[in-house]
């Protein structure tokens, strides 16, 4: 069984070795826990991720509760073999209400976090709304939530790559009944569906069996066209 990626010092090769090591793991070893400092490293990789307009419209729930995991299995149909992973995390994303209807998140990010002056924040918010509507063509609340979720996926991907970098396995989890997962998180008091919805989950830990298939991808010649 593979236990870590090859050690080399060329940064290009180190990065690609991590990309090749990262596989979508279907079965995790229930007895191996990611050390706290390694898990913090993964969260930091997510935190440093870029986002459209710098709005970081995501949050991360670390799902430790066995009852909640069980509900996610029974009701949201998440596979047990992945739910037994060391860590299960959920990326949530902001809804249209807090992203585009009122300026609460925009103001918090720009004034409190990024230190911009508060006096013209409403004009900047108006420009942001017209960016969503006119430039991106986002016409309804669902499209605006999906815009937020796209940013959460960037953080998710960076977290998974960082995991591979330190020999931690991951599997993004989209194959679930979203409404049931959201309800379970809401009932546990961890999600206010008016302001935050589920974007994607990730299982993290160490494999208990190797993937059944090799990592295969299309050739670059099929993917890329210079125009």
Please select the residue that binds ligand FMN; options are 61, 148, 162, 173, rule is CB under 6 A.
173
SS3 116: coil
| Closest distance of CB 215 from ligand FMN, Å | 4
Comparison of 80 and 215: residue with beta carbon closer to ligand FMN? 215
Q: Which residue is nearest to ligand FMN (CB)?
A: 175
- Does the CA dihedral 119-143-56-49 come out positive or negative? negative
| Near ligand FMN by CB under 6 A: residue from 24, 121, 188, 193 | 24
Rounded CA separation 99/84 (Å): 34
Q: Which stretch binds ligand FMN (CB under 6 A): 35-43, 67-75, 119-127, 173-181?
A: 173-181
The radius of gyration computed from the CA coordinates of the chain, to the nearest angstrom, equals 19
Per the CB < 8 A criterion, the answer to whether 85 and 28 are in contact is: yes
Phi-psi region of 150 (alpha: psi -120 to 50; beta: other; left: phi over 0): alpha
Q: How far is the CB of 181 from ligand FMN (least distance, A)?
A: 11
Residue 162 or 173: the one with the smaller Cβ distance to ligand FMN is: 173
* Interacting residues with ligand FMN (CB under 6 A): 23-24, 26, 171-175, 200, 211, 215
């Amino acid at each position: 069984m593979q236990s870590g990626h090859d050690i080399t010092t060329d940064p290009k090769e180190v990065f690609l070795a991590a990309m090749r090591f990262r596989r979508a793991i279907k079965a995790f070893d229930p007895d191996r826990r990611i050390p706290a400092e390694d898990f913090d490293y993964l969260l930091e990789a997510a935190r440093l991720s870029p986002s459209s307009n710098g709005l970081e419209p995501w949050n991360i729930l670390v799902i430790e509760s066995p009852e909640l995991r069980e509900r996610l299995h029974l009701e949201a149909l998440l596979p047990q073999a992945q739910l037994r992973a060391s860590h299960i995390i959920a990326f949530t994303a902001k809804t249209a209400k807090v992203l585009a209807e009122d300026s609460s998140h925009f103001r918090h990010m720009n004034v409190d976090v990024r230190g911009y002056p508060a006096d013209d924040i409403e004009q900047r918010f108006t420009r942001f709304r017209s960016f969503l509507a006119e430039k991106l063509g986002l016409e309804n609340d669902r499209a605006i939530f999906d815009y937020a979720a796209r940013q959460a996926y960037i953080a998710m991907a960076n977290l998974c790559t960082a995991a591979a970098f330190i020999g931690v396995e991951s599997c993004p989890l989209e194959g679930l009944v979203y409404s049931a997962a959201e309800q379970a998180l809401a009932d546990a008091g961890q999600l206010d569906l008016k302001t935050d919805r589920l974007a994607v989950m990730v299982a993290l830990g160490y494999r208990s069996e190797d993937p059944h298939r090799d990592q295969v991808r299309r050739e670059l010649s099929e993917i890329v066209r210079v125009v």
